[in-house]
Amino acid sequence: MRKFYRFALCVLKVVMPLWYRIETEGTDLLPKDGGYLFVSNHRSMADPILIGMQNSKTQFCFLAKQELFQNPFIGKLLSALGAIAIDRGAGDLSPIQELAGRLKSGENALIFPEGTRSKDGKLGRFKTGAALITAQTGAPIVPVAISFDGKLRFRSTIHVRYGTPITLSCENPEDPRPSELKSIKIAMTKAVSELLPIGLPDSKSET
């Protein structure tokens, strides 16, 4: 684990509970080692911190939109925290490939399959990237759900719920069939939605 990452976690584990009321559930299900893909719904910019600070023994990596790296200071800070820049409109798979490589090397990886934050807390349609990473690496998945009422503000209560790790595989990891990726995506959607108070999303999330 990088020294700066370890230092940042120590600071955030003190600061975050002072700023928010954080309630966690299922932390006893968290893996003790690395190489797991954490799959979560996306509610706020604080999500990577909320998840990473509960897993302080293993380095995390995650995808962050390219625009955030345009500020040199923020870009360096995000990189030090394990972020990988991704241009969501470019169709470039190299960030996903880098994340998969770190996953294979023993880091934990965090991905938000919706691709963007949900303003109302409803679970959006999962994109294929997370399913592709799962198929190609065989990494076990830790489903995560984050929920809070209204807009996130000082002393908001945030619920972070972890589910039982699951393993989803396909016959040919190097070239998974579209039907296999769809099945993985459906299973991911179900695992996360079952942790949310709103229940299952509508059927368009599974297409």
Domains of the chain: 3-206 (3.40.1130.10)
Concatenate the DSSP letters of all residues of 135-154 into one string: HHH---EEEEEEE-SSS--T
Q: Beta-strand (E) ranges in 72-199?
A: 83-86, 108-111, 141-147, 157-162
In this prediction, residue 199 has a pLDDT band, given cuts at 50, 70 and 90, of very low
> Would you say 191 and 205 are in contact if contact means Cβ atoms under 8 Å apart?
no
Nearest to 176 by CA among 121, 125, 137, 124: 137
DSSP 8-class letter at 200? P
> Is residue 84 a contact partner of residue 97, using CB atoms and an 8 Å limit?
no
For residues 157-162, average pLDDT? 94
| pLDDT surpassing 70 at residue 203 | no
| pLDDT value of residue 91 | 65
Q: Residue 161 to residues 25, 85, 134: CA-CA distances in angstroms?
A: 5, 26, 21
Whether pLDDT at 130 is above 80: yes
Residue 200 pLDDT more than 60?
no
Q: How many CB atoms lie within 10 A of CB 136?
A: 19
**How do residues 67-99 score in pLDDT, each as one tens digit?**
888 888 888 888 888 888 887 666 667 888 888
- Range in 1-10, 11-20, 31-40 the model is least confident about: 1-10
pLDDT at 117 over 70: yes
**What does the alpha-carbon distance between residue 145 and residue 164 come to, in Å, rounded to a whole number?**
12
10 Å Cβ neighbour count for 4?
Answer: 13
**CA 157/CA 13 separation, integer angstroms:** 16
